[in-house]
Amino acid sequence: MLKKLPLWVKIFIGMGLGILVGLVAVWTSLEDFTINWIKPWGNIFLKLLKLIAVPLIFVSLVKGISSLSNISKLSRIGMKTIGIYLVTTLIATTVGLGLVNLIKPGDVFPEERQQEYRDRFLEDVSAKQLFADEMQGQSPLRFLEDMIPENIVFAAGDNSKMLQVIFFAILFAISMVLVPADKTVVVRRFFDGLNDIILKIIDLIMRFAPVGVLALMAGLIVDFSGDSELFSALGMYMLTAILGLLMLILIFYPALIRLFTGIKPGSFLRGILPAQLVAFSTSSSAATLPVTLKQVTNEFKVSKTVGNFVLPVGVTINMDGTSCYQAVAAVFIAQVFGMDLTISQQLSIVLLATLASIGSPGVPGGSIVMLIVVLTSVGIPVEGLALILGVDRPIDMLRTVVNITGDSTVASIVAKSEGEIGVEETQEE
Ligand code: ASP
């Protein structure tokens, strides 16, 4: 009977059991056992997903772009995708900024805790500060420069360089379209086969997902068990961030989906749920990409051509949850330090958080370093980061859910506008 359950139900059960196992381990002092014998299974699941991320991004982008037989269609879809990504990210940042100004979570922060956590996280903060300092004072075009790989093998060997892999994949695929079709027949067939093999690998990895998610959740609960006081002290901040993120998931995206694709919001949320659950437990939108791709093409019947292009690009540049959270975090820290931000500072936060989310890698805690860049650029004390680091993980989990939901929404909108919804055969389960 367990075999017949759909994957998302199994993942859900895995998550519930993981929380239970974690709590029982804390109550019965079995933390070490959990860390040594259960958590590694979660790490194995995470590594399997990361393992397939670079090949998947490369192959799916090449397949997606090269199947667009003409360059004008390609550039139209490209412009549309990036344009909609930018608009949704700007709106998400504004939602975060509006909420944090309305709720003012920083005003209720107890002073003694500030000092305590500043001391406790000083090391973490200064390590990250070092990196951010390096990034400061660089040319504003640095991000463009960083996008071009010097050596594609090195780029492919470093998961934080996915943007470079994307750049190469796009260049490769565009050239493929420009070369006469009869010369690329073999290459196309090769990529078709490769794509099927990678999808099969993902299918196999996902069978392990319920166990992986169970182990990840149990490990997380044990890791955070000693910090219950911190959780309550930062409750208001977390609540504000969570409220903003939930508004995006439950109101903003369903409204866009209804308005621009005609898909029912309920079906949309149900269809995307398995990917959301994986995003929630892995905190990595890059690791979740295989599942997002599968759900969007299977459930919403978005063509593979559009899905294979829009989603991998979205994983690296479209992070609505991240930008919303960065706005909340930056203003919260300013409030804690008693700073009154001017309108122009607030506007810079919107712009910087949007840009910073584009530059954040889709890995757990990927945006923390970028947050330092936002803070320093607006003149908010970076030490404030120490206050929020301890509670970052649960928010990271939720913002990753928002990130992949945003990608899926835009993929569906682009597909609809191109008449690419429900026209191609879908991937098998
Ligand atoms: N964990 C996020 C993601 O993978 C990135 C971040 O906001 O830290 O989407």
For the chain, the domains span: 2-417
Looking at 15-24, 28-37, 139-148, 181-190, which range is the least confident one?
139-148
Helix (H) or strand (E) run with residue 351 in it: helix 343-359
- Residue 120: is its pLDDT beyond 60? no
Residue with tokens 């051509």: 305
d(CA 364, ligand 1 centre) in Å: 5
Q: Of ligand 1's atoms, which has the minimum distance to the CA of residue 368? A: 8
What's the chain's average pLDDT?
Answer: 83
Arithmetic mean of pLDDT, 227-252: 83
Provide the whole-model pTM. Answer: 0.76
CATH 1.10.1070 fits 2-417, yes or no: no
Dig out the tokens for 60 from the structure: 């799916």
SS3 141: coil
The pLDDT of residue 421 is 84
Closest CA to 279 of 269, 292, 294: 292
Q: Whole-angstrom Cα distance, residue 146 to residue 164?
A: 8
Distance from Cα 286 to the centre of ligand 1, integer Å: 9
CA distance 419 to 422: 8
Looking at residue 132, what is its pLDDT?
Answer: 57
What distance in angstroms lies between residue 361's CA and the mean position of ligand 1's atoms?
7
Query: 141: burial class by Cβ within 10 Å (0-12, 13-18, 19+)?
Result: exposed
- Confidence class of residue 426 from pLDDT cuts 50, 70 and 90? very low
Centroid of ligand 1 to alpha carbon of 312 (angstroms)? 14
- The share of the chain scoring above pLDDT 90, in percent, equals 38
Residue of the CA atom closest to atom 3 of ligand 1: 362
Least-confidence region, from 62-66, 83-87, 123-127, 293-297:
123-127
Protein residues whose CB sits closer than 6 Å to any atom of ligand 1: 283-285, 319, 322, 360, 362-367, 396, 399-400, 403
Instruction: State the average pLDDT over residues 32-58.
Output: 86
Ligand 1 centre distance from Cα of residue 186 (Å): 37
Q: Which residue did the predictor score with more confidence, 24 or 74?
A: 24
